[in-house]
Amino acid sequence: WRILAGREGRSVMANDASEAGIQRRQFLVRGAAATLGLGLGGGLAKPAWTAPDEPRIRNYRPLGRTGLEISDISFGSSRSTDPALVTRALELGVNYFDTAESYKDGRSEEAIGQALQGQRDRVILTSKVKCETDTTSDALMASLEGSLRRLRTDRVDIYFNHAVNDPDRLRNDAWYTFAERAKQQGKIRFTGVSGHGGRLGECLDLALDENRVDVILCAYNFGQDPSFYQRFTSRMDWIAVQEDLPRIIEKAHAKGVGVVAMKTLRGARLNDMRPYETGGATFAQAAFRWVLSNPHLGGLIISMKTMEQIDEFVAASGAPAPSAAELDLLEQYLLGSVDGYCDHGCNACEPGCPHGVPVSEVLRTRMYATDYGDPEYAREDYARLSPDAEACVTCADHGCLGRCPHGLDIPRLTSSAHRWLARPGTRAG
């Protein structure tokens, strides 16, 4: 066995750790399948609810104390630049459109601006910018004004401090100076924070405790809530990350802060689930219904890349809580994602990395390529990481190995992500 020195002088038997991870993943899949009475290639019972023939938004929900009511299924634009998609969503009753200056290098904002020209008063429009620890208020104002030009409007309803993963970023007073000035000038109505990475719970608690936020946009899906696992984990060892999220969402609701969910599909391997959709709701619709069964949420956003996706996603609007059969569908998805899905914000592996690689962020970009089938977007997002996973390719420390609660082979995944995403045309292992 080759023995590798850990970051703090710990010795890690790499082969043992890797083998343990493989055995753990096999145990999780087999144990859950046995508990559920499922074969990994088998079918599922027909869901009790069937999507309507004519998709449309059937429910608008209040967004905290803002006075806004948003479509429960709303438009995410991180991976689209087609104005026709925005128009279709608007026709079906979607009234909340989410974008950011970084999405497609501003082209997503341009598409929304083009489609909503003359329709501005019908919709709730949001955008985002990253405020780092040293970002100035003037720089933030310049970013906002750039977004307004691309969106062809004089205001956004909510402006988010984007992808917050460090509490110190929330302590930068420049954000609050900028936000007050922008509100006085009528350029924004409300401010928010968005996040799905490391230290998410800590960041959200800080934003709520200091009463400096109107809206929260955060990752939230069935695989992040401990309550989802209770019905089938009595005889197995399965760990839910972000177990504080239900508490934080309830806390936000109590304070009148609106909450919008994202990353609701837990990786979006939609095609993998088609064989199990034997009737009624699709996997995506079941996942949305689970998220929206939380009464403390204002709604959810989901990236809509095709007309067919818009129709499928919007059809879940206003539906009741998922049936037992649909919960089985979600569990089947969970089983299939054990081997490669990184739970955003877990960060259990990062303390072992001597190079400071943001593992969850690296694997999130890898997910865009593997699960979303969008390597171009993945490369764009990967290019923004600093540091990236270049150090993983030649790393001999492997302090992250064996740390993942779900047994992922972190060194293999991060090094393959770098080879693929930093060098276009090279496929990940």
Q: How far apart are CA 151 and CA 112, in angstroms?
A: 6
Q: Tell whether the torsion through CA atoms of 321, 74, 139 and 119 is positive or negative.
A: negative
Selecting among 103, 276, 333, 382, the annotated active-site residue is 103
Provide the Cα torsion 357, 358, 363, 368; round to 10°.
-120
Q: What would the two tokens of residue 199 be?
A: 């230290």
Nearest to 96 by CA among 116, 74, 76: 74
Read off φ and ψ for residue 158, nearest 5 degrees.
Answer: -135, 135
| Pairwise CA distance, residues 405 & 111, whole Å | 40
The DSSP 8-state label assigned to residue 45 in this structure reads: P
Q: In whole angstroms, what is the distance from residue 413 CA to residue 147 CA?
A: 35
CA angle, 89 as apex, 377 and 59 as ends, to 5°? 120
85-113 as b/e: b if 16+ CB within 10 A:
bbebbbebbbbbbbbbbbbbebebbbbbb
Secondary structure string (H, E, C) spanning 326-385:
HHHHHHHHHHHCCCCCCCCCCCCCHHHCCCCCCHHHHHHHHHHHHCCCCHHHHHHHHCCC
Both structure tokens of 106: 């501003």
**Cα(306)–Cα(85) distance, integer angstroms:** 7
**Residue positions counted in the chain:** 429
The one-letter code for the residue type at 358 is P
Q: Is 236 exposed, middle or buried (0-12, 13-18, 19+ CB in 10 A)?
A: middle
CB 412 within 8 A of CB 405: no
244, 206 Cβ separation under 8 angstroms: no
Whether 276 sits among the annotated catalytic residues: the reply is: no
Residue 179: exposure state from Cβ atoms within 10 A (0-12, 13-18, ≥19)? buried
**Catalytic site residues?**
103
